[in-house]
Structure 1
Amino acid sequence: MSDMSEFEIFLATAPGLEATLCDEVRLKGFKRPRAVPGGVTIRGGWPEVWRANLWIRGATRVLARIDSFRATHFAQLDQLAHKTPWKTFLRPDIPFRVEATCSASRLYHDGAVAQRVATAIRDVAGAPEAETADVIVRARVDHDTCTLSVDTSGALLHRRGHKQAVNRAPLRDTLAALFLHQCGYNGSEPVFDPLCGSGTFVIEAAEIAARLNPGRSRHFAFEHLATFDAEAWAQMRAVKSERPPSVHFYGSDRDAGAIAMSKANAERAGVSRFTTFRQCSISDIEPPEGKPGLVIANPPYGTRIGDPAKLAPLYNALGRTLRERFPAWRLGLLTTEPALAHATGLTFLPTSAPVPHGGLKVTLYRTPPLA
């Protein structure tokens, strides 16, 4: 790959959420988004890489795919990896590290592949290798095809720099954004999380409505690359798209510590003006004034926090309270346990495939507007 003006860019997400991420990427105006296993591909250059890191809410990382070739033995890998234009994007003064994965290939040893690629980088670009380097080159050998990418994000993209306080088993911001999208949320209706924990759903919904870029408060690995243009990046970041939301966002939790965390996180995210958090139990929640919207919750489930049998009354209380007090609102409910979802007594729309989260598989259960 000699021409690096346009290349394939891969936006990773949790398996099962590829189509939802593709919808977001398309709505943000990126070229030729295509859902593939594990994420979405687009075409573009380095400005598109920067923009994807800055704008996209549902991606966990952004990889710039810089080369791809067939390799069935190590001599071939050595030769072709030395032809990759490493100097184009790696700086000789910035350390790098290589992470490799191999599947269904004659090159099956991850460590040996990583070693060969690292040697090629040192020889061609003169960059130093370090175990703790921020710049990561990823080598993936699948069915004898080696794909070389640079991880342009660095820390995973759910680490947005706002949520310093978290409770047990927190939901990642990236997942929250995609689940909100699956519930049909687009920023024009109120959102209420009655089990808000550290406030992830409420804050994410408020940021979407306020058109705040998810990557606005953090740094990225691409800032260490030879292709980085600090002036162009500063101009991109300086473009302001914010607007005051037309609606408000609400969270409640029976735990006072959770409410304190949520308020602090909302303040850091710059959305405290649009959010209200209140300590109360599920049976005490009331719909806010104004038009109906979306109730969304990530309650405890037995394999995560607590015993499933003991949690059924919580789900039952949630369903009963929503039926009685939240007419015309919709519910989005995350759980690993179908029995707990159905303990709400609510009627759900067809579900999609479970999504990996914290070593478990969670399913989003959605209702139509409640009668």
Structure 2
Amino acid sequence: MTAAGDFEIFLVANPGLEGPLCAEARAKGFKAKSIPGGVTVKGGWPEVWRANLEIRGASRVLARIDTFRTQHLAQLDRRARHVPWGNVLRRDVPFRVDVACKSSKIYHSGAAAQRIERAITEELGAPMSAEAEICIKARIENDVCTVAVDTSGELLHKRGHKQAVAKAPMRETMASLFLRQCGFDGIEPVVDPMCGSGTFVIEAAEIAAGLQPGRARHFAFEQLATFDAAAWERMRACAVATTPSVRFYGSDLDAGAVRMSRANAERAGVTGFTTFEERAVEDLVRPDGPPGIVIINPPYGDRIGDKGRLRALYRALGHTLLTRFSGWRVGLITNEAQLAQATGLPFSLTAAPVSHGGLWVTLFRTGPLP
């Protein structure tokens, strides 16, 4: 960390979504740079708090507090004792350490974690606990150790309002970035005809209403020595929510999924401008009003259902959209190009593959449908 208080902040991204996350961070006023695994920005602790509160696409926010070369465990032990732990950690708050080693002379992550744990307990006096919310993350790569503190705690897709989830759920962080890639601007309607637990619809409604993604949850940084509760409350109070000019629509053949979506939308505070209905894809109707975006995360071949039945489902989806949704744009997420092609939709834009639930999925996009 520099004398001025600025340091490197790392926003963790799902592999394949670094670019959209960088675009979001820049749109929020951060000077951001995309690198493999995420996005780096410079700032102080208020920027850390704001990133956790406002950025929708990051999985975690890490504050990098030191970097040094180390080639053996004794050297790591000595150097770890010079990290300014007392500037960040509290003596009365438990911590844990997570170490990853790559292409380095130090290759035993467990032994490296023990050295850092011992350095913190002996130099600062803070207790170590395997269950601690505060996690020190050290990465030793090419004999360089980067030490960071996870300021988020629970993964950031846990917004605090989704208690019920459907099969194979899409995380909110990913959904927000897929919406961004589809060009969603908050002033056009969104339809999800396979809404599951309502993630895409709720994310779109929150974006349109100006609701901060972290407004309803706790963060690990609230347990750090750097936390200023009064400044944090002022930051949270600055957000101004508005009522969107359009509605957001979800439907699903599963009545239980529709109930889940409605309950999640109510907890999120977006019931007033979302609609969820039990409906088959073949019965989907275009909402009144201007065209917008249809975004779908249908079943995948390697996850739910057999290929033949899935192709029929994708064909029915494509036929419905082509015949009833002229002027609308479509975003479809799937792990197989052949399934996307089965829709017959004129996909012209293909995003980079994204890691999701052990699979690599791709967002296929159209321009306005004829």
The two structures share one fold, judged by TM-score above 0.5: yes
Amino acid at match of 2:132: A
Q: How does 1:176-215 map to 2 (within 5 A)?
A: 176-215=175-214
SS in 1 for 2:184: coil
C-alpha displacement of 1:2: 6.1
Match of 1:98 in 2: 97
The Cα RMSD (Å) is: 0.9
1-side partners of 2:52 and 2:198: how far apart? 23
Residue of structure 1 in register with 2:125 after alignment: 126
Greater shift in the superposed pair: 239-248 or 260-269: 239-248
- 1:84 is matched with 83
After superposition, what is the alpha-carbon deviation per residue over 1:281-304, rounded to whole angstroms, capped at 9, x for unaligned? 001010100000000010011211
The code of the aligned residue for 2:332 comes to L
Q: Which moved more, 1:171-180 or 1:69-78?
A: 69-78
Q: What aligned pairs does 1:1-371 form with structure 2 within 5 A after superposition?
A: 1=1, 3=3, 5-30=5-30, 32-371=31-370
What is the letter of the counterpart of residue 359 of structure 2? L
After superposition, the C-alpha distances for 1:32-55 in whole angstroms (9 at most, x for unaligned) are 200011000000010000000000
Please give the secondary structure, in 1, of the residue aligned with 2:131. coil
- Could you say what secondary structure the match of 2:183 adopts? coil
What's the CA shift string for 1:311-332, capped at 9, x where partnerless? Answer: 1111000100001000000100
Please state how far the C-alpha of 1:349 moved relative to its aligned partner: 1.6
Q: Distance in 2 between matches of 1:289 and 1:157?
A: 34
**CA apart distance, 1:306:** 1.0
| Percent of pairs with identical residues | 62
Of residues 145-154 and 76-85 in structure 1, the stretch that sits farther from structure 2 once superposed is: 76-85
* TM-score, length of structure 2 as denominator length: 0.99
Distance 1:126 1:88 in 2: 13
Equivalent residue of 1:350, what SS?
strand
How far did 1:120 drift?
Answer: 1.0
The alignment partner of 1:23 has SS state of helix
2-structure distance, mates of 1:136, 1:240? 29
Instruction: Quote the Cα distance in structure 2 between the aligned partners of 1:122 and 1:233.
Output: 28
Q: Secondary structure at the match of 2:347?
A: coil
Q: How far apart, CA to CA, are the structure 2 residues paired with 1:156 and 1:370?
A: 36
Equivalent residue of 2:289, what SS? coil
Distance 1:183 1:240 in 2: 25
Q: State whether residues 81 and 119 of structure 2, in contact with CA within 8 Å, keep that contact through their aligned partners in structure 1.
A: yes
Q: Which amino acid in 1 is paired with 2:113? A: A
SS in 2 for 1:306: coil
Counterpart secondary structure, 2:126? coil
Find the aligned partners of 1:2 and 1:350 in 2 and give their Cα distance: 42
C-alpha distance in 2 between matches for 1:185 and 1:132:
39
Contact 1:316 1:345 in 2 (8 A): yes
Which runs of 5 or more structure 1 residues have no equivalent in the other structure? none
Q: How far 1:309 sits from its partner (Å)?
A: 2.1
Q: Give the letter for the 1:261 counterpart.
A: M
- Give the distance between the partners of 1:4 and 1:250, measured in 2 at CA: 48
Give the Cα–Cα distance (whole angstroms) in 2 for the partners of residues 56 and 125 of structure 1: 32
Task: Specify the SS of the correspondent of 2:115.
Answer: helix
Task: Answer yes or no: is the 8 Å Cα contact 2:349–2:366 preserved in 1.
Answer: no
CA–CA distance in structure 1, aligned partners of residues 212 and 162 of structure 2: 15
* Maintained 8 Å contact 1:4/1:66: no
CA distance in 1, matches of 2:92, 2:331: 49
Counterpart of 1:3, as a letter, is: A
SS in 2 for 1:66: strand
Given that 2:193 and 2:250 are in contact with CA atoms closer than 8 Å, whether structure 1 keeps it comes out as: yes
